[in-house]
Amino acid sequence: MDIRELHGNLLAAVSALLAMSIYLVGGTFGMENPLRSFLWTLESINSKLMARCPMHPCYVDQCMYGLAPSDFPDLRYRKPTIVYICNPYNTLGTYHLDLRCHVYKAPGKLPKCGHVHLKCEGRVQLEDGTWIKRSEEAGHYPEALAKAIVRELM
């Protein structure tokens, strides 16, 4: 196991402990990561945290919430994501966060979000002149998603 993998496992285990602590004192929490993340397969998250806390998976394509590259604001990053919500006060068990973008195969037809998707590959230059990875830029929640997550936790 290399140091990055060890660091990732440790971070996941600490996150699971914090989340479980929040739940045990009557709080709510959300846990977000890309749809195909290894996080969801780790024992600390998958079998320990999820076995003890009522966590509901919400499937989100962040383009539906407006996640756009700063250099091409008319395009969108799709960024398939799972947001697990633990809210024991949601007694109805209904969630409104799920929002997936459908990509149509017909030529010239836009995806459901109404925008062409841009892959999170390469780098982008910010207004201040610095360059960052597109994946880093796409790591910032669009405001609409942040607000939707907060609504699910209240």
Using CB under 5 A, list all residues that contact Zn ion.
63, 101, 111, 113
> In terms of CB distance, is 63 or 85 closer to Zn ion?
63
Q: Which is nearer to Zn ion, 42 or 99 (CB)?
A: 99
CA angle 28, 34, 35 (to 5 degrees): 95
CB of 132 to Zn ion, least distance (A): 22
Shortest Å, Cβ 141 to Zn ion: 16
- What's the farthest any 2 CA atoms get from each other in the chain? 52
How far is residue 85's CA from residue 95's CA, in Å, rounded to a whole number? 9
For Zn ion, the closer of residues 101 and 124 by Cβ is 101
Nearer to Zn ion, 7 or 36 (CB): 36
Q: Which amino acid is at 48?
A: K
User: What strands lie across the sheet with 80-86, from one edge to the other?
Assistant: 29-34, 80-86, 56-61
In the complex, minimum distance from the CB of residue 105 to Zn ion, in angstroms, rounded to a whole number: 14
Token pair belonging to 107: 């030529």
Smallest separation, CB 112 to Zn ion (Å): 6
